[in-house]
Amino acid sequence: DKIVHTGDTDTAIRFSGADTITAETGGSERARIDSSGRLLIGTTTEGASGADQLTVASSSHGGITVRSGSSSNGNLMFSDGTSGAAEYAGYIQYEHDNNRLNIGSNGSTRVNIESAGTVKVNQNLSVTGIATVGSAVTISESGIEASGIGITVANINGGKIGGRRNIIINGAME
């Protein structure tokens, strides 16, 4: 049930079961293509349903490395078609030439993480809960809190702030 390298009997290609091929090194199975066409690396058990065509497993730290040139991009694309923007409807892209991580949806970049750690959102930002901006400003449902800094507001709802409107001097509102 196996093809063995001459002089290296613990390295083999095996036909371990019905419609299954495995690769062994050092006497241990390292990769398997099962009867459903799934590629399993470091395991004989497929991953979660809906994401099991490629399963990589390790008993310690594990992962997948995408290596590309120092002035090129490394990409993980999510596609629902075979041409145009459908081939990259969603994506995670790392630009090595400027050390930026891009996250895309609907064929366009939506979030950038710059090399200095700055996060840029390319469309409207919606935050549920509490958002902390830097170390001194917190935005939540109850308002904006700032410690040790001033907040400058240029306009509210498109109108400039200015003048002396609705100033309460005393209880009689004079």
Mean pLDDT of 52-61: 92
> Which carries the bigger pLDDT value, residue 88 or residue 124?
88
User: What is the Cβ-side half-sphere exposure of residue 166, based on CA atoms within 13 angstroms?
Assistant: 1
Query: With pLDDT > 70 as the criterion, what percentage of the chain qualifies?
Result: 80
- Minimum mean pLDDT among 55-59, 78-82, 117-121: which range? 117-121
Task: State phi, psi for 48 to the nearest 5 degrees.
Answer: -60, 145
Task: Please tell me which residue, 148 or 16, carries the higher pLDDT value.
Answer: 16
- Are 75 and 61 within 8 A, CB to CB? no
| pLDDT for 17 beyond 90 | no
Percent of the chain at pLDDT above 90? Answer: 56
Within 10 Å of residue 22's Cβ, how many Cβ atoms?
Answer: 20
Q: What is the structure's pLDDT at 143?
A: 72
Strands (E), the chain: 2-5, 8-17, 20-25, 28-33, 39-41, 54-56, 73-78, 90-95, 100-105, 108-113, 119-121, 131-133, 137-140, 143-146, 155-156, 159-160
Interval 106-112 mean pLDDT: 92
The answer on pLDDT for 132 being more than 80 is: no
